[in-house]
């Protein structure tokens, strides 16, 4: 795309608003677009540059030195990572900027600190070093700098994967079956799927393959009672409902009225009748207590740091901190303990996060099992093998962009004795 003064100005305006990171970057960018009313080419350039700058912020701040202004960050991003050469940028540059940009382009990243190479703040590096060596951390960091792909989940209540693949092909969309999820589709490029008749007919939802695999760990059966304890906007709830073929009862619980409101149009499209969204005040709400000991399967996709989703949400590595993770782990313990009370004898409890940190994952599960001896761990690998899903795992589900091309997910499956 041709770079002009106007386009550079738009990028600088957006970065000026977003870089303080007082709010999630995607939300702030959405408000920016609503206010600016700009063309689709400009929107694409602004979005790509903003998220590119966030992905590579540590390198760019190093390359810009003390003068890491939004303008300099944008120019440095374009020349180092955005595929533009100095000749294309020359018409936009001030007198001293050409020489400086040439220096940025020539920086050898292999000579920089692990934090800058991996694009992870020091506190995350130190946390990861407790369980990983530096080579593993670098590979993880590099994989998190890639742009996430686009995965779809077929609504098996209304269609098969073969039907949806055929329909997408007819619409000119290039897509393939996902390697692990038997109901997943991976789309090439960024087609506008929200206007697709197949989407409007409820036959698929956008959902990362890793998130889909959590549903196969829950593995609900028809006519069971199932609870999605932290349902959010309901992506996993809709999957569980379809796996139950809209039979039995499925409760989608959440403390956010706004998130549950976002579920309503999706639920209508899905054709499911067994899903009941319920707003709760907290994890010990009376609505929760009424279900104690009655539920066959409970999914706890716990609130977490989200560091497994840095390909999509690169701002999270700067918006989270040691303190916020400490607060989250306390919340995770409380939620898991409350949710476990719903599980009946012989029932299944799945704890999951999209975090990379041991203390939000194995640490929570190990502490829970030590104080709740009525539960035992079921190896995630065995559950996938039973369903003929070709994903080799040991005790826990642990996914990463580097190994499985999914977001970073963790899950543990437990059964009440």
By annotation, the residues acting in catalysis are: 354
Tokens for 298, please give them: 């409970």
Contacts of 180 (CB under 8 A, 6+ apart): 209, 213, 389, 390, 391, 404
Helices (H) and strands (E) in the chain, counts: 21, 12
CA distances, 143 to each of 54, 59, 84, 272, 340 (Å): 15, 16, 22, 36, 34
Q: Quick one: which of 238, 285, 278 has its CA closest to 254?
A: 278
CA distances, 99 to each of 10, 70, 104 (Å): 24, 18, 9
Q: Is the separation of the CB atoms in 410 and 352 below 8 Å? A: yes
Rounded to 5°, the CA angle 322-328-334 comes to 145
Tokens for 413, please give them: 């499956």
Q: Helices (DSSP H) in 56-202: which residue ranges?
A: 57-64, 70-80, 86-89, 97-106, 114-118, 122-129, 134-144, 161-170, 197-200
Q: What DSSP state is assigned to residue 408?
A: -
CA distances, 208 to each of 82, 117, 149, 404 (Å): 25, 26, 8, 11
Residue 73: how many other CB atoms lie within 10 Å:
26
User: In this structure, are strands 397-399 and 409-416 parallel, antiparallel, or unpaired?
Assistant: antiparallel
Q: Which residue has the tokens 């689709």?
A: 40
Give the span between the Cα atoms of 330 and 307, in whole angstroms: 17
Q: What DSSP state is assigned to residue 253?
A: E
Q: Is 83 helix (H, G, I), strand (E, B) or coil?
A: coil
Tokens for 216, please give them: 């196969």
User: In this structure, are strands 249-254 and 150-154 parallel, antiparallel, or unpaired?
Assistant: unpaired
């Amino acid at each position: 795309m041709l770079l002009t003064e106007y386009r550079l100005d738009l990028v600088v305006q957006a970065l000026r608003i977003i870089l303080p990171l007082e709010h999630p970057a995607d939300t702030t960018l959405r408000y920016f677009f609503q206010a600016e009313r700009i063309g689709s080419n400009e929107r694409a350039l602004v979005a790509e540059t903003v998220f590119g700058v966030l992905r590579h912020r540590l390198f760019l701040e190093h390359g810009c030195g003390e003068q890491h202004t939004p303008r300099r960050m944008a120019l440095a991003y374009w020349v180092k990572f955005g595929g533009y050469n100095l000749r294309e940028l020359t018409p936009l540059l001030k007198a001293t900027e050409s020489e400086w940009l040439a220096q940025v382009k020539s920086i050898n990243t292999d000579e920089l600190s692990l934090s800058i190479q991996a694009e992870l703040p020091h506190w995350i590096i130190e946390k990861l070093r407790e369980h990983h060596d530096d080579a593993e951390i670098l590979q993880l960091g590099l994989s998190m700098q890639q742009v996430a792909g686009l995965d779809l989940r077929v609504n098996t209540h209304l269609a098969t994967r073969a039907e949806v693949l055929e329909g997408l092909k007819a619409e000119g969309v290039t897509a393939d079956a996902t390697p692990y999820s038997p109901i997943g589709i991976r789309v090439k490029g960024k087609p506008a799927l929200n206007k697709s008749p197949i989407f409007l007919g409820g036959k698929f939802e956008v959902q990362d393959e890793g998130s889909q695999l959590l549903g196969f760990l829950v593995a609900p059966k028809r006519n069971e009672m199932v609870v999605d304890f932290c349902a959010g906007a309901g992506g996993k709830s809709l999957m569980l409902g379809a796996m139950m073929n809209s039979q039995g009862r499925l409760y989608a619980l959440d403390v956010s009225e706004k998130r549950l409101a976002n579920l309503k149009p999706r639920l209508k499209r899905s054709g499911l009748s067994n899903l009941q969204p319920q707003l709760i005040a907290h994890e010990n709400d009376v609505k929760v207590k009424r279900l104690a000991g009655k539920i066959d399967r409970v999914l706890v996709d716990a609130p977490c740091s989200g560091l497994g989703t840095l390909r999509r949400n690169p701002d999270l590595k700067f918006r989270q901190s040691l303190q916020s993770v400490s607060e989250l782990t306390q919340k995770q313990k409380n939620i898991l303990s409350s949710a476990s009370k719903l599980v009946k004898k012989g029932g299944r409890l799945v704890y999951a996060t999209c975090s990379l940190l041991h203390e939000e994952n194995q640490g929570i599960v190990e502490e829970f099992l030590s104080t709740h001896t009525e539960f035992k761990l079921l190896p995630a690998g065995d559950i996938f093998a039973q369903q003929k899903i070709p994903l080799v795992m040991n005790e826990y589900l642990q996914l990463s962009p580097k190994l499985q091309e999914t977001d970073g997910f963790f899950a543990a499956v437990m059964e009440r004795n």
